Each structure stands twice: as C-alpha cells, then as structure tokens.
Amino acid sequence: MTSSKHREEANLSVGQIAKRAGVNVSALHFYEQKGLIRSWRNNGNQRRYKPDTLRRIAVIKAGQKMGISLDEIKATLATLPDNRTPNKTDWANLATHWQRQLDEKIAYMQHVRNFVQGCIGCGCLSMNACPMYNPNDIVADSASGAVWLEAPDKALAAKICYDNNYNKIGTTE
C-alpha cells in the first residue's frame, strides 16, 4: 500500500484514538515511540491514525493486563505479516503464546506464595524458620538476586552449611 493510501485511511486524530481506546494521549505517543503503533502526518503535520490502530491498542492493553512486557508485545506484534494489526486467527496464536508465559508466571507466583507462607502471616521473620533469612549474606558467593525464591535448593544448602558451622551469634563452633 502506498504512503498516500495510508494517509487517506489514517483519518483519526490523536484525541479521537485516545478517547475511543481509553488511554491518555501521552500513552499513544509512548506506544508510537516504542514502535507499537504507527501514525501518519496530515498536511498540517498533525498525527493521524488508521481505525485498526484501535484494535492494536486493545491487544497492547490486554497484553499489559496479563503482565506481558511492552517489549514482548512489540516482538509478538512484529511477527505479523507487514506488522499489521492482529486478526482473529492472529489473536488466537498470540493468546496461546501468552498463555504459556502466564502459566509459567502463575506457577512461579504460587511457588513464592507457598515458600513464604509462614512469614507472610505472622510477620515475625523467625531467624530459625524463615525461608528468606540469609544470615551474613551466606549465599552471596554462590548466587545473586532473590536466591531464596529463585533457587531454594542452593539457598537451603547454604543455610544448612551455615547452621552447621556457626552458632547463633555468628562465631565458629
């Protein structure tokens, strides 16, 4: 499709798109800057959008509500032929891909919930039972980040080693 044909179809102003999509104008500018949507300029140099931009924004918003990052949404939309707006078949494929990601996130969140269940309820952060306790930063040499949640086997091994080698005040037995 020629550039002039795109401009002819792109007849919705930024305000019209924002209102109909339920987003702020600044969000449209942000989405455009990130390459998620596209506008054309009219003779007065004002942004104009094609009507299918509304569907594209709906896909972006749905992905965001599911916890999909804008980078992942962009990468997924970029797989469409000519970077077009998703149709029903495309949406089914996108949803299947994102469902796998959601399943992984849900499983991780359930793991986290179960792993710290004892600490969440009482708030005591018992130094003997709390799975998040990291005495003297003992896991720093073997891992970084949220080790207790990401690699509980490493964390548990480090804690057992610590418990076997140090008494409660941190001196060697």
Read out DSSP for 120-160?
A: HHH----TTT-TT--GGGTTTTT--SSHHHH-HHHHHHHHH
Q: Which domains does the chain have, with CATH numbers?
A: 3-114 (1.10.1660.10), 123-165 (no CATH)
Mean pLDDT of the residues in the chain:
77
- Could you give the count of Cα atoms lying within 13 Å of 73 in the half-sphere of its Cβ? 22
**53 within 8 A of 86, measured Cβ to Cβ:** no
Residue 148 pLDDT greater than 90, yes or no = no
Q: Above 60 in pLDDT, residue 2? A: no
Using alpha carbons, select from 70, 43, 47 the residue that is nearest to residue 59.
Answer: 70
Residue 147: which pLDDT band, with cuts at 50, 70 and 90?
A: low
Give 55-107 pLDDT, tens digit per residue: 889 989 988 988 889 999 998 888 877 667 778 888 888 888 888 888 988 88
pTM over 0.75: no
pLDDT digits (tens, 9 = 90+) for 31-51: 999 999 999 888 899 999 999
